[in-house]
């Protein structure tokens, strides 16, 4: 039987690093999603295989916590496995390490649902393919993922600190703003000095609704009271709302929530 763990390798390309020489978090997110796709595909659960049955995977949450971000030209290996499967959700974890010396950069957690492409209703993961997915589960005891699970994100502030338009490059093959682009737009809220002075230790994102090309995205921001040595907030929560004041609800629908932990 095929291993329960898929290993996915990549190198940190010159155009994929930020001004500090470290991999953009959005690019890392893209690699994690590729690793997930490879794992699913090689076990008969890939989107291409599921589409024939009119199902597709939908990313619900992603959480990345790193001791260190891979640097330019480094070789990286991502291990990914399924930690649990419930009726409507499955938890997939990631270990991110240096391929040459084996040191662990960090871990990631994700939560996925499967939906029917036509009805947009969630599918029962345990009923599909006679519960085949359970064959691939590696419990937390068998393969630990030593970072906290996703927490609840609450942003009461509804005054955006930035509103942007969305364009051609933001949109994926389904016509939706792609998961990675939200990460980029959130990190773009910060000035250069933030990245000179601080490192993003943990990044959590929850995908709540879809947005489309031409939608405006408003970023509402809520800092923690806890601060870093220089007085900047240690933890920040961000809520992204689409078409504020244009939809029926004055505040606009929440499409994405994120939480950033700096050090």
Q: Tokens 């920040």 sit at which residue? A: 236
- Rounded to whole angstroms, the Cα distance separating 84 from 82 reads 6
Instruction: Identify which of 78, 76, 138, 150 has the alpha carbon closest to the alpha carbon of residue 112.
Output: 150
Cβ distance to a second copy smaller for residue 59 or 155: 59
Query: End-to-end distance of the chain based on CA atoms, in angstroms?
Result: 43
Q: Measured from the CB of residue 1, what is the shortest distance to a second copy in angstroms?
A: 26
Cβ distance to a second copy smaller for residue 72 or 224: 72
Cβ distance to a second copy smaller for residue 34 or 84: 34
Q: Measured from the CB of residue 207, what is the shortest distance to a second copy in angstroms?
A: 14
For residues 222 and 236, the answer to whether their CB atoms sit within 8 Å is yes
Q: Measured from the CB of residue 142, what is the shortest distance to a second copy in angstroms?
A: 29
For residue 204, the tally of other CB atoms under 10 A from its CB is: 21
Q: How many CA atoms lie within 13 A of 13 on its CB side?
A: 7
The secondary structure of residue 135, as a DSSP letter, is: G
Q: Measured from the CB of residue 22, what is the shortest distance to a second copy in angstroms?
A: 9
Q: Measured from the CB of residue 51, what is the shortest distance to a second copy in angstroms?
A: 12
Cβ distance to a second copy smaller for residue 73 or 140: 73
Q: Measured from the CB of residue 170, what is the shortest distance to a second copy in angstroms?
A: 8
Cβ distance to a second copy smaller for residue 200 or 261: 200
Residue 227, strand partner residues: 233
**Beta-sheet strand order (sheet of 90-98):** 6-11, 75-85, 90-98, 104-116, 55-66, 200-207, 253-262, 235-242, 216-223, 160-165
User: What does the binding site for a second copy look like in residue numbers (CB under 8 A)?
Assistant: 13-15, 17-21, 24, 26, 30, 33-34, 37, 47-48, 72-73, 167-175, 178-180, 184, 187-192, 195, 213-214
Q: How many CA atoms lie within 13 A of 231 on its CB side?
A: 0
Q: Measured from the CB of residue 27, what is the shortest distance to a second copy in angstroms?
A: 10
Cβ distance to a second copy smaller for residue 171 or 220: 171
Cβ distance to a second copy smaller for residue 12 or 145: 12
């Amino acid at each position: 039987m095929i291993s329960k763990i898929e290993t996915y390798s990549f190198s940190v390309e010159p155009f994929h690093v930020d001004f500090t020489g470290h991999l953009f978090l959005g690019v890392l997110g893209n690699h994690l999603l590729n690793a997930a796709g490879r794992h699913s595909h090689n076990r008969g659960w890939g989107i291409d295989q599921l589409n024939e049955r009119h199902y597709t995977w939908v990313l619900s949450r992603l959480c990345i916590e790193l001791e260190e971000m891979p640097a330019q030209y480094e070789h990286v290996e991502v291990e990914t496995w399924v930690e649990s499967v419930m009726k409507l959700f499955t938890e997939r974890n990631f270990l991110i390490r240096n391929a040459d010396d084996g040191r662990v950069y960090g871990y990631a957690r994700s939560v996925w649902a499967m939906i029917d492409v036509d009805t947009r209703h969630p599918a029962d993961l345990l009923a599909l393919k006679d519960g085949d997915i359970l064959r691939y589960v590696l419990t937390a005891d068998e393969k630990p993922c030593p970072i906290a699970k996703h927490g609840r994100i609450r942003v009461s502030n509804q005054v955006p600190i930035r509103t942007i338009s969305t364009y051609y490059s933001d949109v994926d093959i389904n016509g939706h703003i792609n998961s990675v682009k939200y990460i980029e737009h959130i990190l773009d809220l910060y000035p250069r000095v933030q990245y000179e002075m601080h490192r993003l230790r943990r990044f959590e994102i929850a995908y709540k609704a879809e947005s489309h090309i031409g939608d405006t995205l408003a970023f509402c921001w809520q800092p923690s009271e806890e601060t870093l040595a220089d007085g900047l907030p240690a933890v920040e929560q961000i809520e992204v709302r689409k078409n504020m004041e244009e939809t029926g609800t004055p505040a606009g629908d929440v499409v994405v929530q994120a939480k950033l932990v700096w050090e």
